[in-house]
Structure 1
Amino acid sequence: MAATPEELMVGLARACARAGLGAPEGLQRLTGGATMESWRFACGGDDFVLRRAPSLEFMEDRPYGHDVEAAVIRAAKAAEVTAPEVMVELEPEDGISSGFVMRALPGTPSPKEILQFDEADALLKDAARDLARIHSIKSGDVPDAVPVMDYRQAIADLKQQFMDAGGDRPIIALGLKWMEDNCPDPVEPVLIHGDYRMGNLLAEPGKLTGVLDWELAHFGDRHEDLAFGCMAVWRFARYDRPALGLGSLEDYFAAYEAEAGVTVDRERFRYWLIHRTVWWALGCLKMAQHWRSGQDRMLERVVISRRTSEQELDLLMLLEEDAPEDAREQVLECRKSQERISGEASAADIATAVSEWLATIKDKMEGHDRFQLAVARNALSIIARSETSMHEYHASADFAEQILSGEVSLDDTGLLWDLRSSTIEKVREDSPKYPAIQAALKKWPLPQSGSES
């Protein structure tokens, strides 16, 4: 069972006392966070943030605990990365799960705000600088528990996740097969942040002020970190700026190379762009599993699971570069679905009605409750669009297995067109405002059908 704010305050007071801090006050849940919770509070006139897992059970399948994550953050700060100062780790007797307390940093984590700053070029250079400094941290500077990635084992683990989730998404199967066929040789590993992207960076106009969320840190290929932040999903509304939503890849690479003293390998960058797109697609799917299991019953989990189609769209645009030219240019006749007719209120009508009522109480909500209300309205919109959709998405474990075995590939007539068409409609259903939709429609010669509203 989740801890109440009152219980959090009691446990937090114990932790703060160990760090020589005063009694905490003004505890407030922060929005965002796909896995961990963040709570802001004050102590002796200074602001701090509690980062914690929703439950101890939630930490059971993770490679290491918050004590190791805290040690990594301390090493990063020592390397002059704009990382937060860790004050104290939670202990079992605190009774509020696992986590640690950090000194709050200035700036906003909001990608919407950051990507509207005028000094995007300066912020891009700061981001490249900090990433290079992270990659300079040696294995002896962090606990032995920080793992070293085995590329092939990582693919095998993702493949198992795919099977555990039903193994029925053809585009993810294409990605896994491509990764097996194109996995690069290992290089000398460096410390990888693992989640270096908009949403985990704090900034003020023209200045990076913080690097957050270190729970995925490991040793591996520096191109993995470079690529992850450049995925389309993390560019948010600035799809036109491929480097973190801030600028060009050329400028990002140049700034990184100047700080790190190495040359960025474009082929390795592309591999990791595809690898991490598959990784996040499966991460989205796993959110539904977390919710169903009872580990975390937050509404946000089930909504994030419906973002899998965004990654399938991005993945297909990346993979089709290897398809034959005639397959990329092929246009087939659009399938027509039978129109649905119903006299009584449909599930879509009911979902819309509830969403409209929730809008009337929006101004009565504050903090995380207001955020959750927005998530709830988004969930209801997904239900409404799913109910009225006249398109079918191809989900077939047998078909996916044919792709994984190499029996079917993008060389096959009609496959690329079919996947393009069905994926566009699936993303329109799940995330109609996703910027990559317009980019895909410009790139793909599809007959125009359906609505994005």
Structure 2
Amino acid sequence: MGVEERGAAIESGLERALARVGIERPSGFTRLTGGATMESWRFSAGGEDFVLRRAPSAAMMEGRAIGHDIEAAAIRAVHAVGVLAPEIVVELEEADGLGTGFVMRALPGTPDPRTILGDNSGDAEGRALGGQLARELAGIHNIDPGSLPTGLPTLDPAEGVAGLRTQYEEAGGNRPIVALALRWLIDNLPGPTEPALIHGDYRLGNVLVAGTQLTGVLDWELAHLGDPHEDLAYACLTVWRFARIDRPAAGLASLDDWFAAYESAGGRRVDRARFHWWLVYRTCWWALGCWRMGRTWREGADRTVERAIISRRTSEQELDLLLLLEGEAPEEERTKPLPASSPPPPPTGEATAGELATAISEWLATVKDRMEGHDRFQHAVARNALGIIARDYAAQVIATDEQLARALLEGERTLAEPGLLARLRRTTLDKLGVDMPKYPALAVARRKWTGED
């Protein structure tokens, strides 16, 4: 079903919802790209622009710590005290037939990270916008918990790691680098701290920026109470720096500038050891989140191409985890050369599965201009998937090792073992070269570990 057909399918239900608050009939539906778990639609009504955020089915809400009712209440609460969150105008009801969700007034600006980074590419502009993001985050963390809705969960580090371990074991328990990270998190748990409101997904892609000005904070579905270092670290994950991995703070500024802006706005004093722990935690969390997408697609809860392709981004986070944790290895292991890759012989005769994928991808390129809106986005995702198939068939990299993973998780083997770090580095480079060869950190790691460009 295309964008126009899907827009027409939800129009009647949305009209009922808007009528409850005196807003006239909606029109001009556009499916917004992005959003790994929710649908977002922009539309107009009464001369204003709005955004519908919804989960079309109950299955899409499974496993979420909060429902849309609590999320909406939290957004209303933070909006009321001046946080740049959108204004919610109405919440969906069962009779609307649209699933669960709510309608918000549209805010100015773009969430597109590449546009934001392009408009703030200079050092001064990057520091300035990074400072705005840090100051807004300090304001969020300083909100009185008593003004927030009941039902927001509290994330205790030990319980969080236990949850990650359960997810890991349910997913197969056979990825050594994730196991290594889980062991490190268990061995280095931070002490207790006074909980604050945590956005939970504070990063480029979930904020709106108009030129050089922060204009909105979106996507509060992971809001909870916990350690402010979690939000500070999550914005700095390598994956959320996009093409500017040389600027650790959201691809915009240095960590020194990030911390200074946050503290000067009334945020708590930053503990760099806690920050590093949460950096490892949220990288591991996102690795498992990506990994779980494959199961979500396989079980039929969401059969979009995007869902399936995100599962292959696990290897991005494995690379990042290894970069974060390799300092635990002895010096002689960190300087050891990597073993060589062993690619299979080139194909001959009939077309291989990888070559068929390439052929389909090349044909899809010829029909790109016929696509628009979200279909165009999915077209790009489909071509990416075909590229993975082609590279996977050619390289045949095996990144799973249940026995090694179990030993690392139990602490029976460590990075002090001769040759283990070099082996993990080689496998990680080869696997990511198959899954996401344009991931910016891949080139950085390849130069660092092999001296190659």
Query: Which TM-score tier does this pair reach, normalised by the shorter chain?
Result: over 0.9
Give the partner amino acid of 1:211.
Answer: V
Give the partner amino acid of 1:246.
Answer: L
Tell me, yes or no, if the aligned pair for 2:339 and 2:422 is still in contact at 8 Å: no
* Cross-structure match for 1:258: 264
Distance 1:332 1:351, change over 3 A: closer
* Cross-structure match for 1:290: 296
Distance 1:142 1:116, change over 3 A: same
* Cross-structure match for 2:23: 21
Residue 74 of structure 1 and its aligned partner are, at CA, apart by 1.3
Answering whether residue 230 of structure 2 is matched by residue 238 of structure 1, we say no
Residue 332 of structure 1 and its aligned partner are, at CA, apart by 4.5
Answering whether residue 372 of structure 2 is matched by residue 366 of structure 1, we say yes
SS in 2 for 1:373: helix
Which aligned pairs between 1:181-220 and structure 2 lie closer than 5 A? 181-220=187-226
Tell me, yes or no, if the aligned pair for 1:79 and 1:134 is still in contact at 8 Å: no
SS in 2 for 1:82: coil
Tell me, yes or no, if the aligned pair for 1:77 and 1:83 is still in contact at 8 Å: yes
1:127 and 1:232 map into 2 onto residues whose CA distance is 17
Residue 87 of structure 1 and its aligned partner are, at CA, apart by 0.6
Tell me, yes or no, if the aligned pair for 1:51 and 1:101 is still in contact at 8 Å: yes
Tell me, yes or no, if the aligned pair for 2:341 and 2:430 is still in contact at 8 Å: no
Distance 1:337 1:60, change over 3 A: closer
Tell me, yes or no, if the aligned pair for 1:54 and 1:296 is still in contact at 8 Å: no
* Cross-structure match for 2:37: 35
Pick one of 418, 422, 435 that aligns with 1:417: 422
SS in 2 for 1:260: coil
Pick one of 81, 101, 104 that aligns with 2:103: 101
* Cross-structure match for 1:430: 435
SS in 2 for 1:51: strand
Tell me, yes or no, if the aligned pair for 2:58 and 2:99 is still in contact at 8 Å: yes
Residue 336 of structure 1 and its aligned partner are, at CA, apart by 3.2
Residue 240 of structure 1 and its aligned partner are, at CA, apart by 0.7
Residue 194 of structure 1 and its aligned partner are, at CA, apart by 0.2
1:387 and 1:173 map into 2 onto residues whose CA distance is 26
2:451 and 2:41 map into 1 onto residues whose CA distance is 48
* Cross-structure match for 1:356: 362
Distance 1:214 1:420, change over 3 A: same
Tell me, yes or no, if the aligned pair for 2:139 and 2:267 is still in contact at 8 Å: no
Pick one of 72, 89, 106 that aligns with 1:87: 89
Give the partner amino acid of 1:397.
Answer: E
SS in 2 for 1:194: coil
Tell me, yes or no, if the aligned pair for 2:201 and 2:231 is still in contact at 8 Å: yes
* Cross-structure match for 1:307: 313
SS in 2 for 1:101: strand
2:341 and 2:206 map into 1 onto residues whose CA distance is 42
Tell me, yes or no, if the aligned pair for 1:393 and 1:423 is still in contact at 8 Å: no
* Cross-structure match for 1:271: 277
Residue 169 of structure 1 and its aligned partner are, at CA, apart by 0.3
Tell me, yes or no, if the aligned pair for 2:108 and 2:215 is still in contact at 8 Å: yes
Residue by residue over 1:77-110, the C-alpha shift from the partner in whole angstroms, topping out at 9 and shown as x without a partner, is 1221111111111011111101000000110110
* Cross-structure match for 1:117: 119
Give the partner amino acid of 1:100.
Answer: F
2:130 and 2:218 map into 1 onto residues whose CA distance is 16
Mean alpha-carbon deviation: is it higher for 335-344 or for 245-254?
Answer: 335-344
Which aligned pairs between 1:434-449 and structure 2 lie closer than 5 A? 434-444=439-449, 446=450
SS in 1 for 2:265: helix
* Cross-structure match for 2:66: 64
1:351 and 1:421 map into 2 onto residues whose CA distance is 26
Residue by residue over 1:396-420, the C-alpha shift from the partner in whole angstroms, topping out at 9 and shown as x without a partner, is 2221111111111111010100000
Answering whether residue 389 of structure 2 is matched by residue 380 of structure 1, we say no
Runs (4 or more) in structure 1 with deviation over 6 Å come to none
* Cross-structure match for 1:280: 286
2:214 and 2:21 map into 1 onto residues whose CA distance is 27
Give the partner amino acid of 1:277.
Answer: T
**TM-score calculated relative to the size of structure 2:** 0.96
* Cross-structure match for 2:169: 163
* Cross-structure match for 2:55: 53
Residue 20 of structure 1 and its aligned partner are, at CA, apart by 1.4
Distance 1:126 1:332, change over 3 A: closer
Give the partner amino acid of 2:132.
Answer: D
Answering whether residue 351 of structure 2 is matched by residue 345 of structure 1, we say yes
SS in 2 for 1:38: strand
Give unpaired runs (5+ residues) of structure 1.
none
Give the partner amino acid of 1:112.
Answer: R
Tell me, yes or no, if the aligned pair for 2:339 and 2:423 is still in contact at 8 Å: no
Distance 1:430 1:333, change over 3 A: closer
* Cross-structure match for 1:393: 398
Distance 1:290 1:332, change over 3 A: closer
Tell me, yes or no, if the aligned pair for 1:109 and 1:201 is still in contact at 8 Å: yes
**TM-score calculated relative to the size of structure 1:** 0.96
Mean alpha-carbon deviation: is it higher for 125-134 or for 59-68?
Answer: 59-68
Give the partner amino acid of 2:304.
Answer: M
Give unpaired runs (5+ residues) of structure 2.
none
